[in-house]
Amino acid sequence: MKQQAGPSAARYSKLISAVPRPISLGALQRSIQSSPRAVAEVYFRRELGSRKCKKVTCSSSLVPHSDNSDFGLQDKEEQILELREETIRSEEVFNGRLVKLRVDTVRLPNGKQSTREIVVHRGAVAAVPLLDTDTVIMVRQFRQAAGECLLEIPAGTLDPGEDPQACVSRELEEEIGYHSNKLTLMFCSYLAPGYSSEMLHTFLAEDLVKVGQHSEEDEFIEIVEIPIDEAVSKIVSGEIKDAKSICGILMAQRFLASR
């Protein structure tokens, strides 16, 4: 039986509907100029296609400085760059199958030294697979680090030098047994930039064709088909706890609504 979203999910949907639709950079700048106190968030373009993510440099020209700003915005890009830390030396202390652990000694902006423990990860992919316009294919699996079974969207680690789109195609076939004829990169995100270099590429996977599941030997997965509104309800209730799944499902919902 299809579960209806509860009141909390309804309130959440109202918040989502209030988020601005994707806008051009010019429109964003005009909006900011008319309201200097605004804090702008640049959302994904309507037609992302399968382009790769690029690093974005913050520019103070997008957000005019105001002496009365509650956010302490700087009006010079050079002042923003003063936040950077200089790496003095790095030491690799662990080299595992999936991650490495590196300890960096850094010089802080005030000239003092400190250490940073960095988990070096080659990156990962995730996908929100849509069977139709409102049904998401998810997986339930036990996660040793969390100590419990989690409901998640399909995901996996990039092989060395692997293209994210090729990787997500492979992971979809391995985990849920589907090939996607339409992959759209929705966004890229750092999962835990305080200590990890891992970058996650999250796709919307549509036009699915069943090809048969072939999971790895150490993977035990239950496939779950769920309406996207019900998935959002489970996010609001706290049943879905996995960060990549929360971000991916909410972004997919917004992405579909913007079409």
Looking at residues 24-30, what average pLDDT do you find? Answer: 48
Residue 246 carries which side chain, given as an amino acid letter? I
CATH placement of domain 124-257: 3.90.79.10
The tally of CA atoms less than 13 A away on the side-chain side of residue 207 is 5
- What is the C-alpha to C-alpha distance for residues 104 and 43, in angstroms, rounded to an integer? 33
Predicted local distance difference test score (pLDDT) of residue 74: 52
Domain ranges in the chain with CATH number 3.90.79.10: 124-257
Q: How confident is the model at residue 218 (pLDDT cuts 50, 70, 90)?
A: confident
What are 45-68's pLDDT values in tens digits?
Answer: 333 344 444 443 333 333 333 444
Catalytic positions, written as ranges: 217
Q: Two tokens at 54? A: 């690029």
Q: What is the pTM of this model?
A: 0.70
Report CA 222 to chain centroid distance, whole Å: 23
Q: What is the pLDDT of residues 132-173, one digit of tens each?
A: 889 999 999 999 999 999 999 999 999 999 999 999 999 999
The pLDDT of residue 44 is 38
Of residues 184 and 44, more confidently modeled: 184
Rg (CA), the chain: 21
Average pLDDT, the chain: 80
